[in-house]
Amino acid sequence: MRTKQTILNEFDCVLPAKSVNEGVARALVGAFLLQMDPTVEDLSDLKCATSEAVTNAVVHGYRRREGDGGAEGRILLSVAILPDRVVRVTVKDKGCGIEDVARARTPLFTTDPAGERSGMGFSVMEAFTDRLSVRSRPGRGTKVTFYKKMK
Ligand SMILES: Nc1ncnc2c1ncn2[C@@H]1O[C@H](COP(=O)(O)OP(=O)(O)OP(=O)(O)O)[C@@H](O)[C@H]1O
Ligand SMILES: [Mg+2]
């Protein structure tokens, strides 16, 4: 059993899975974390990692819904400030899910059929944060969580 983490401040929002919201999520995370007086580098790392996770939800998680006339998928973005200047970001979708998470996290692995993607999103998230966890169930969705201790 895990004890519940103390949250000093937090921010949750729901965004429709539109590519314009990749930048919106980036800006929201940046604005919320200004209260910590972060370094430019820490802030930029978290913004980049967030935008990779949101981009994945838009382009992969909800890819099957594109143009099907149905309701757009929703992405839940949640940012928490934990003790000791640790930030936790969670990006959750209820999209198609990932069959093999270990394989998906391998650098250069992509399922993009058009070849526009480089398969580096998870590697970027790993490089820019201290810990990355990816939980996914095919047909149910994906939850990406990362932590970073700020200077
Ligand atoms: N939220 C998600 N839902 C479903 N599949 C996902 C999701 N996020 C990632 N994936 C799968 O994991 C693969 C690897 O993701 P990653 O971000 O590393 O690379 P990419 O998105 O293909 O390319 P890049 O991020 O460099 O543009 C994706 O190609 C996709 O198959
Ligand atoms: Mg990606």
Q: Which sequence spans correspond to the domains of the chain?
A: 9-149
Question: In the annotation, is 66 catalytic?
Answer: no
DSSP code per residue over 42-111: HHHHHHHHHHHHHHHIIIIITGGGTTSSSPPPEEEEEEEEETTTEEEEEEEE-SS--S-HHHHTSTT---
Among 19, 55, 56, 77, say which to mutate for ligand 1: greatest number of ligand atoms within 8 Å of CB: 56
- Indicate whether residue 43 lines ligand 1 (CB < 6 A): no
Ordered per-residue pLDDT tens for the chain, 151 residues: 667 889 999 999 999 999 999 999 999 999 999 999 999 999 999 999 999 999 999 999 998 655 555 567 999 999 999 999 999 999 999 999 999 999 999 999 999 878 789 999 999 999 999 999 999 999 999 999 999 999 9
Q: What pTM value is reported for the model?
A: 0.95
- Indicate whether residue 122 lines ligand 1 (CB < 6 A): yes
- Indicate whether residue 106 lines ligand 1 (CB < 6 A): no
Q: Does domain 9-149 have CATH number 3.30.565.10?
A: yes
